[in-house]
Amino acid sequence: MEDILRPVYQERASQENTLGVLVIEKKEKNSPTTDFFDAILLVIVHDADEHLTIKHYSYDCKKAALHTITESMLREWMLLGTNKKIFEWLYSGKVVFDRNEYIKKLLIEFRDFPFYGRKIKMGIEFAKLIRRYLDGKAFFENGQYLDAFNYVVHSLHHLARLAVIENGFHPELTVWNQVKQIDPELFKLYEELVTSEEGLEKRLELLFLASEFLIHSRTKVGAAHLLNLLKNKEAWTIGELMKEEELKHYSVDLSVLLEYLAEKNLIEAFQVETKSSGLFHRYYRIGNAI
């Protein structure tokens, strides 16, 4: 297989812009790891007009996919977890080209999981958690239990990922197996949600009670990145916060997180007059509970 694909990746390796090339071969008959292809060629480049390009090939009744990604896209995937297979590709793939040991250094960096990167990732996960949890609670209170169930499952996944990150690990692979070791209480909560024979309404009611405590216990840790950034200025508008490079990945979840933290007195929301009578700008600053 590699002999047939070699000309493809050798051509990429000869280009100065290429940082590394990996080959990921299918290990099982039906393998989701390789998107059900027989092989994936992962080419990491320094820069390109498009952050991601994909090509498909056929050979000897088999098929392969060539993924060319920029370094910035790779790091975004690693930070946001938007491509959960990337960790498995990097860790299990065969390195066939590695300019100046780029891939080797990358793996060391992500294995060590720098504290700063961990803080940002925890903040993003916590913001998603709060959004899903509050949306699910609203559905529950309106009697829309199936929608509430969907949202609360997502919120528990974010809570699980947060627990894994807090312990210094990447949460992209087999999250609940990791959580079973790290946080048995959270694992039991999830298990009860999906396996309990109680009625859905009762399950959700008990879950929201338990989740409230688990979220509260992780609020300062989960919000630490945002709270530290807020200390850089006396007061912020939502527009100013959304322009901050470190907060851009919080996206639409940032507003909900700010209001949640204001309710918990971790930040203070206050008013500043506008030119219109009775209308005020809403500003945010560190609260008294910090």
* pLDDT tens by residue, 100-126: 999 999 988 877 776 667 889 999 999
Residue numbers in the chain where pLDDT is lower than 50: none
- Which residue shows structure tokens 């088999």? 62
pLDDT for the residue 125: 93
Mind listing the pLDDT tens digit for each residue in 148-194?
Answer: 999 999 999 999 999 999 888 888 667 898 899 999 989 998 988 88
Q: Would you report the helix, strand and coil content of the chain in percent, each value rounded to 5? A: 60, 20, 25
Q: Which helix (H) or strand (E) holds 175?
A: helix 175-182
Q: Which tokens belong to 13?
A: 């390796």
pLDDT at 235: 94
3-state DSSP of 19-76: EEEEEEECCCCCCHHHCCCCEEEEEEECCCCCCEEEEEEEECCEEEEEEEEEHHHHHH
Q: What span, in angstroms and rounded, lies between the C-alpha atoms of 52 and 95?
A: 19
Token pair in block for residue 200:
């859905």
Residue 63 pairs with which residues in a beta bridge?
58
**What domains can you pick out in the chain, each with its CATH number?**
2-112 (3.30.460.10), 113-222 (1.20.120.330), 225-290 (1.10.10.10)
Please state, in angstroms and rounded to a whole number, the distance separating the CA atoms of residues 148 and 193: 12
